[in-house]
Amino acid sequence: MRRPSATFRAVAAALVCTAQGLLPVSMLGGLAVQIQRELALDEQGLGAAVTVFFAVSAVGSAPAGRLLQRIGPYPGMAATAALSAVALVGIATAATSWTVLVGFLIVAGMGNAIAQPAANLLLASGVPHARQGLLFGIKQAAVPVTTLLAGLSVPALGLTVGWRWAFVLAVAGSAALPLLAPRRAKVPRARDEVVAPPTVDRWPLVVVAGAGFLGAAAVNAMAVFLVASAVATGIAPSAAGLLLAFGSVLGITTRVAMGWAADRRDGRHLRVVSQLLVAGAVGFTLLALGTPAALYVVGTVVAFGAGWGWNGLFTFAVVRSYPAAAATATGITQTGLWLGGMVGPLAFGVIASRASFAAAWLAGAVVMVLAAGTCLVGRHLIMRARTRRAEPAERALEGGIGDG
The string of pLDDT tens digits covering residues 242-257 is 787 788 888 888 888 8
* 77 and 132 part of one domain: yes
**Residues 298 and 403 placed together within one structural domain of the fold:** yes
Residue 235 inside a domain? The answer is yes
Looking at the fold, whether 287 and 363 belong to one and the same domain comes out as yes
DSSP label at 181?
S
Residue 185 lies in a domain: no
Question: Would residue 184 count as lying in a domain?
Answer: no
Section 359-370 average pLDDT: 96
Mean pLDDT of 88-96: 95
Same domain as 383, residue 274: yes
Cα distances (Å, whole numbers) of residue 380 to 80, 207, 268, 270: 34, 10, 11, 10
pLDDT tens, residue by residue, 278-288: 999 999 999 99
Residues 206, 171 share a domain: no
Residues 148-186: tens digit of each pLDDT: 777 777 777 877 888 899 999 999 988 888 888 776 644
- Quick check: is 192 in a domain? no
Q: From 178, 207, 232, give the residue that closes a domain.
A: 178
Q: Where in the sequence is the domain holding 132, given as residue range(s)?
A: 1-178
Worst-scoring range by mean pLDDT, 159-163, 215-219, 400-404?
A: 400-404
Name the pTM for this structure.
0.77
Regarding whether 31 and 113 lie in a shared domain, the answer is: yes
Model pLDDT, residue 325: 82
Structural domain tally of the chain? 2
In angstroms, the CA 65 to CA 398 distance is: 37
CATH assignment of the domain containing 158 = 1.20.1250.20
Are 261 and 203 a contacting pair, CB within 8 Å?
no
How big is the chain, counted in residues?
A: 404
Looking at per-residue pLDDT, the higher value among 261 and 201 belongs to: 261
Of residues 89, 81, 86, the one with CA closest to residue 168: 89
Q: What is the amino acid identity at position 129?
A: H
Q: Give 196's contacts (C-beta < 8 A, 6+ positions apart).
A: 321, 322, 323, 324, 325
The Cα–Cα gap between 52 and 57 comes to 9
Tell me what pLDDT residue 399 has. 41
| Domain assignment present for 100 | yes
Q: Are residues 285 and 320 in the same domain?
A: yes
Same domain, 129 and 216: no
Contact 221, 272 (CB under 8 A): no
DSSP secondary structure, 302-330, as one string = HHHHTTTSSHHHHHHHHHHHSGGGHHHHH
Considering the domain architecture, whether residues 252 and 376 belong to the same structural domain is answered as: yes
For 174, half-sphere exposure in the C-beta direction (CA atoms, 13 angstrom radius) is 23
Is the pLDDT score of 237 beyond 80?
Answer: no
Distance (Å, whole) CA 344 – CA 346: 5
Could you tell me if 263 and 359 lie in one domain? yes
Query: For position 391, what pLDDT does the model report?
Result: 57
Give residue 198's pLDDT: 54
* Structural domain contains residue 187: no
3-62 pLDDT, tens per residue? Answer: 557 778 888 898 899 999 999 988 887 787 788 889 988 767 877 888 899 899 989 988
Give residue 268's pLDDT.
Answer: 83
Please identify, among 124, 148, 178, the residue that sits at the C-terminal boundary of a domain.
Answer: 178
pLDDT tier, 104 (very low <50, low <70, confident <90, very high otherwise):
very high
Higher pLDDT pick, 294 / 112: 112
Do residue 210 and residue 173 come from a single domain? Answer: no
Question: Would 188 be classed as within a structural domain?
Answer: no
Using 50, 70 and 90 to split pLDDT, how confident is the model at 322? confident
Rounded alpha-carbon distances, angstroms, from residue 377 to 106, 107, 311:
34, 35, 18
Q: In terms of domains, do 165 and 214 share one?
A: no
* Mean confidence (pLDDT) of the chain: 83
pLDDT of res. 4: 58
Using CA atoms, how far apart are residues 186 and 188, in angstroms rounded to an integer? 7
Task: Give whole-number Cα distances, 182 to 64, 78, 115, 139, 334, in Å.
Answer: 19, 11, 15, 16, 23
**Residue 82, domain member (yes or no):** yes
Which tops the pLDDT comparison, 373 or 44?
373
DSSP single-letter state for residue 131:
G
